[in-house]
A and B are shown apart, each in its own frame.
Chain A
């Protein structure tokens, strides 16, 4: 359109969480956007949510044109998201244009026709409700009903042109056959769409993975590439704008206690308030104990603490904490501690992430611990896992929350887990817990491997665990090769020094 270049593009938030980030503010006003995707890729939810947001967030009415689903089915299907379309219809904020074919009354075609009937009905609905948003879902049904595709393309172009002139922002959906291939089955996009969005529903390591990509947003900046999204019962579509997030490094200079004064010393005075720490160790090295101390330390300072436990049951956690002298039950009753128990397998990574973010937003903790990341890694693809860690880390940082993640190393001696390899650059600090075989005994060592923005003790310290908790002792002085799993001792021996 010749006028497009002259008019600056203003955007309208879609209300789809995360989408407004990757689209730099939403969908361009008075433009037409094609949402294309394979069957089951959530096109209808997108088209519906776009109207819902107009009503809920901006008090703007919307018109929903259905070519396929029955009106009563749509009302029922989206009710689970808390979207009460019937109520909005009564309030004059939502209007259906039922353009679904009637199976009892098929239409024969004799000669050429146009879609003026459809246009007149949409125009009437828009005028009567003062709607600013129109969703058409999905064009395929129309292309199946009528084989005169050139007519349909030309008419759809006419309809969107009229609606755009009326100042209406249009979303229409169309089906794709392949996840990577032509944009749509019937090639409507070149004719009708200013903007093209692709929804994908892929199998990744035997797991479903949904992504959204903005292929084209005419005359407006947006982020490129595929972004994962999920569908929650509370929000509908939630996009995870990963590369839209800046991984900010720890910026706070305020220190908080790790829960262990000796470990605080090794870190140069405690963790930074908005830093993420990874604790790595084999089974039995005391990772969960470190988590327990971290939470108890926060409670002592009057902070709010949230634990996501993916390995041990709540009973087990509370029993262990009680043995170490921390009454987590009482702390939970006080309302400042929340322990969330989840099976890693229960949900996709994206769903875990969204649920965790919602809980963090609701509970507003100062500290969050995840025990363990490895349990989550086992049930996800590498890519999903990395995206999960990036998103969670960024989320914690932007909310100025101190995070402690644990990771289980596969080998008892030495170290290095897959988890660490992929996320060590994402965390601010790394603490290693390692077994050391010496003199027929298993000793334990702890070292602060990395601490962003601070001096720290780089020596390996011996520590013991007993009924009262963790006791960090002196550095190992006469031994090398602990981290590689092959400790070598010099003649003086180690025993007497500790």
Chain B
């Protein structure tokens, strides 16, 4: 049985960079080979405890919460292929 793919996107407020990262992450997930990804966005300005819990220093940061092992990538996520590779996820079509 395949575990559900869960991603947490940590952002600091509703900044242009946060929105850009969210859009890029959605774009990356649309490229996924198998199944849906569950993306949860966490605003650390509202919930700094979550930043502590997940040891987030930089924003935006994506943490692959499940399946284990955890992976993380930070930045505005402008390069979809790099994002997928950092999160150890397979895109639908092999890249040239």
Chain B binds chain A: yes
A: residues with CB less than 8 A from B are: 97-99, 102, 104-118, 120-121, 123-124, 146
A110-B78 Cα distance, complex, nearest whole Å: 7
Whether B57 and A118, one on each chain, are in contact in the complex, defined by CB atoms closer than 8 angstroms, is yes
A117-B61 Cα distance, complex, nearest whole Å: 9
Cβ–Cβ < 8 Å partners of B76 in chain A: 110-113
Cβ–Cβ < 8 Å partners of B9 in chain A: none
Cβ-closest 8 pairs across A and B: A116-B12, A111-B75, A108-B86, A111-B76, A117-B56, A124-B48, A111-B78, A120-B48
Whether B48 and A121, one on each chain, are in contact in the complex, defined by CB atoms closer than 8 angstroms, is yes
The smallest beta-carbon distance between A453 and chain B, in angstroms, is 64
27 sample A-B contacts, Cβ–Cβ < 8 Å, listed by A number? A99-B55, A102-B55, A104-B69, A105-B70, A107-B74, A108-B82, A109-B75, A110-B73, A110-B74, A110-B82, A111-B75, A111-B76, A111-B77, A112-B75, A113-B76, A114-B58, A116-B45, A117-B10, A117-B59, A117-B61, A118-B58, A120-B51, A121-B56, A121-B57, A123-B48, A124-B48, A124-B49
The smallest beta-carbon distance between A398 and chain B, in angstroms, is 48
Whether A117 and B69, one on each chain, are in contact in the complex, defined by CB atoms closer than 8 angstroms, is no
Cβ–Cβ < 8 Å partners of B56 in chain A: 117, 121
Q: Specify which of A104, A113, A116 lies most central, judged by the most chain B CB atoms within 10 Å of its CB.
A: A116
Cβ–Cβ < 8 Å partners of B52 in chain A: 97, 121, 124
A112-B45 Cα distance, complex, nearest whole Å: 19
Cβ–Cβ < 8 Å partners of A104 in chain B: 69-70
Does B22 sit at the interface, judged by CB under 8 A? no
From known contacts A111-B78, A117-B44, infer whether A99 and B57 are also in contact, taking CB-CB under 8 Å: yes
Q: Specify which of B21, B60, B70, B74 lies most central, judged by the most chain A CB atoms within 10 Å of its CB.
A: B74
The smallest beta-carbon distance between A317 and chain B, in angstroms, is 60
Whether B55 and A108, one on each chain, are in contact in the complex, defined by CB atoms closer than 8 angstroms, is no
A425-B83 Cα distance, complex, nearest whole Å: 72
Does B71 sit at the interface, judged by CB under 8 A? yes
Cβ–Cβ < 8 Å partners of A107 in chain B: 57-58, 61, 72-74
The majority secondary structure among interface residues of chain A is mixed
Which of B44, B55, B77 lies in contact with A110, CB distance below 8 A? B77
**Count of interface residues, chain B, beta-carbon cutoff 8 Å:** 33
Cβ–Cβ < 8 Å partners of A146 in chain B: 58
A146-B61 Cα distance, complex, nearest whole Å: 14
Cβ–Cβ < 8 Å partners of B71 in chain A: 105, 108
Chain A residue nearest to B81 (CB atoms) is: A110
A106-B72 Cα distance, complex, nearest whole Å: 7
A463-B76 Cα distance, complex, nearest whole Å: 90
Chain B residue nearest to A127 (CB atoms) is: B48
Kindly supply a per-residue 1/0 record for chain B positions 5-41, scoring 1 wherever the CB is within 8 Å of any chain A CB and 0 otherwise.
0000010110001000100100000000000000000
Does B4 sit at the interface, judged by CB under 8 A? no
A438-B83 Cα distance, complex, nearest whole Å: 96
The smallest beta-carbon distance between B65 and chain A, in angstroms, is 11
Chain B residue nearest to A124 (CB atoms) is: B48
Cβ–Cβ < 8 Å partners of A123 in chain B: 48
Whether B73 and A108, one on each chain, are in contact in the complex, defined by CB atoms closer than 8 angstroms, is yes
From known contacts A117-B59, A118-B57, infer whether A109 and B74 are also in contact, taking CB-CB under 8 Å: yes
Chain A residue nearest to B84 (CB atoms) is: A110
Cβ–Cβ < 8 Å partners of B51 in chain A: 117, 120-121
Whether B57 and A108, one on each chain, are in contact in the complex, defined by CB atoms closer than 8 angstroms, is no
Cβ–Cβ < 8 Å partners of A98 in chain B: 55
The smallest beta-carbon distance between B93 and chain A, in angstroms, is 20
A115-B51 Cα distance, complex, nearest whole Å: 11
A98-B57 Cα distance, complex, nearest whole Å: 10
Cβ–Cβ < 8 Å partners of A105 in chain B: 69-72
A105-B62 Cα distance, complex, nearest whole Å: 12
From known contacts A107-B58, A121-B52, infer whether A112 and B17 are also in contact, taking CB-CB under 8 Å: yes
Whether A120 and B45, one on each chain, are in contact in the complex, defined by CB atoms closer than 8 angstroms, is yes
A109-B57 Cα distance, complex, nearest whole Å: 12
Chain A residue nearest to B87 (CB atoms) is: A108
The smallest beta-carbon distance between B47 and chain A, in angstroms, is 9
Which of B44, B72, B86 lies in contact with A120, CB distance below 8 A? B44
Cβ–Cβ < 8 Å partners of B24 in chain A: 111
Chain A residue nearest to B47 (CB atoms) is: A120
A109-B85 Cα distance, complex, nearest whole Å: 11
A112-B73 Cα distance, complex, nearest whole Å: 11
Chain B residue nearest to A122 (CB atoms) is: B48
Chain A residue nearest to B24 (CB atoms) is: A111
Cβ–Cβ < 8 Å partners of A110 in chain B: 73-79, 82-83, 86
A102-B61 Cα distance, complex, nearest whole Å: 15
A98-B51 Cα distance, complex, nearest whole Å: 11
A111-B45 Cα distance, complex, nearest whole Å: 21
A117-B44 Cα distance, complex, nearest whole Å: 7
Whether A117 and B58, one on each chain, are in contact in the complex, defined by CB atoms closer than 8 angstroms, is yes
Cβ–Cβ < 8 Å partners of A121 in chain B: 48, 51-52, 56-57
A117-B52 Cα distance, complex, nearest whole Å: 8
Which of B48, B55, B69, B74 lies in contact with A113, CB distance below 8 A? B74
Which of B12, B78, B86 lies in contact with A117, CB distance below 8 A? B12
Whether A113 and B60, one on each chain, are in contact in the complex, defined by CB atoms closer than 8 angstroms, is yes
